[in-house]
Amino acid sequence: MAGLHAEYLAALSADKHRALEKLRKEIAAAAPKAEECISYGIPGFRLNGKLLVSYGAGANHCAFYPGSIVQQFKKELKDYDTAKGTIRFAADEPFPGALVRKIVKARIAQQAKTKSGSRCPN
């Protein structure tokens, strides 16, 4: 695991650490060519130099940040607290791996169609 990701996760409570490490592994499996990075102070993955997805922890939740693709998964995400580009979930109920992989693959396809995208700074 990239050093900064490890530092970020190490600072969290055990339940958030476990939930986000599981999420991290699912993202990496769905996007094997993506590189880990830190963007806006939270861990993320970039593909072809562009931010693909990020994840993090809030005071009372964990979050997955796949961007605007969230809108395409409203039905599958009906049981989650969502906002534009954000999916929040409880640390003791990790986000389903199959849905992570589905969203990440859709995000990769979305990114491939656009020439512009957020850069993930080093």
State what percent of residues in the chain have pLDDT above 90. Answer: 78
pLDDT of residue 120: 52
> What CATH number is associated with residue 58?
3.90.1150.200
**pLDDT score of 2:** 56
Entry pTM: 0.89
In a domain, 66, yes or no: yes
Residue 122 forms part of a structural domain: no
**Number of structural domains, the chain?**
1
Let me know if residue 9 belongs to a domain.
yes
Q: Is the residue at 121 inside a domain?
A: no
Structural domain span for residue 104 = 3-113
> Over the chain, what HEC string results?
CCHHHHHHHHCCCHHHHHHHHHHHHHHHHHCCCCEEEEECCEEEEEECCEEEEEEEECCCCEEEECHHHHHHHCCCCCCCEEECCEEEECCCCCCCHHHHHHHHHHHHHHHHHCCCCCECCC
Task: Give pLDDT tens digits for 73-97.
Answer: 999 999 999 999 999 999 999 899 9
Q: Is the pLDDT of residue 42 over 80?
A: yes
